[in-house]
Amino acid sequence: MILAAGRGERMRPLTDRMPKPLLPVAGKPLIVWHLERLARAGFRGIVINHAYLGDQIEALLGTGAAWGLSIRYSAEPQGALETAGGIANALPLLGEDPFLVVNGDIYCDWDFSRARLGNALAHLVLVDNPTHHPNGDFTLVDGKVGAGETARLTFSGIGIYHPALFAGIPRGQPAKLAPLLRETIDAGLINGEHHAGRWVDVGTPERLAVLDAELRDAC
């Protein structure tokens, strides 16, 4: 599942007429970088949620056949349902097996073929803290994600989840992901890993421009 329902307030005015996942990076929409890498990793079924200007996402990506994928869409009301609410709303499309979730507004070179859940309700990919988020989110000790106050890492926006994690959220009800993760961490049911490669939270026009220049230089 690719999360693409956010309004992108910090990216305005770029997002006034275009949803953030469609903003171009090195000649193609940000979300297409995800689709290409997911296809190369062997994924075929993709669910994309959307709200703000979601018709543009559907019009551009269509069925996903251009990438050898099958894309289905989970439309949300304007204002969206927050992350956990959006995932819970899409569960009928995601099925009963564990699934990968990727934020649509990041760039990351983590290998999607590594996606495994193991004996947990969630597996989170954590990265080094960026300058705009110096205190991080979670700790990681021997593969277990914790909520300690020191040596924190940042949640990348990439996770593998069991559907049972979202079973208590009614469909169509907004719900944030962070409180749900912290509750599950306290129960010792979240594993994780540290990705030391490239990761960018494409949250501002400035970070978008830096990533665009970097990927153009790499082409």
The whole-number pLDDT of residue 118 equals: 86
Tokens representing 26?
């090195």
- pLDDT tens for the chain, residues 1 to 219: 999 998 777 888 888 888 999 999 999 999 999 999 999 999 999 999 999 899 999 999 999 999 999 999 999 988 779 999 999 999 999 999 999 999 999 999 999 999 999 889 999 999 999 999 999 999 999 999 998 888 899 999 999 999 999 999 999 999 999 999 999 999 999 999 999 999 999 988 899 999 989 888 876
Residues 174-213 as b/e (b if ≥16 CB within 10 A, e otherwise) read: bbebeebbeebbeeebbbbbebeeebbbbbeeebbeebbe
Supply the pTM of this predicted model. 0.94
Which residue in 19, 178, 165 sits closest to 83, CA to CA?
Answer: 178
197 in the Ramachandran plot: left (φ > 0), alpha (ψ -120 to 50) or beta?
A: beta
For the chain, the structural domain boundaries read: 2-218
The whole-number pLDDT of residue 13 equals: 84
The whole-number pLDDT of residue 219 equals: 64
Spatial contact of 86 and 50, defined as CB atoms under 8 Å apart: no
102 in the Ramachandran plot: left (φ > 0), alpha (ψ -120 to 50) or beta?
A: beta
Which residue in 1, 166, 29 sits closest to 84, CA to CA?
Answer: 166
Which residue in 24, 14, 99, 105 sits closest to 60, CA to CA?
Answer: 24
The whole-number pLDDT of residue 70 equals: 98
Superfamily name with CATH number, domain 2-218: Spore Coat Polysaccharide Biosynthesis Protein SpsA; Chain A (3.90.550.10)
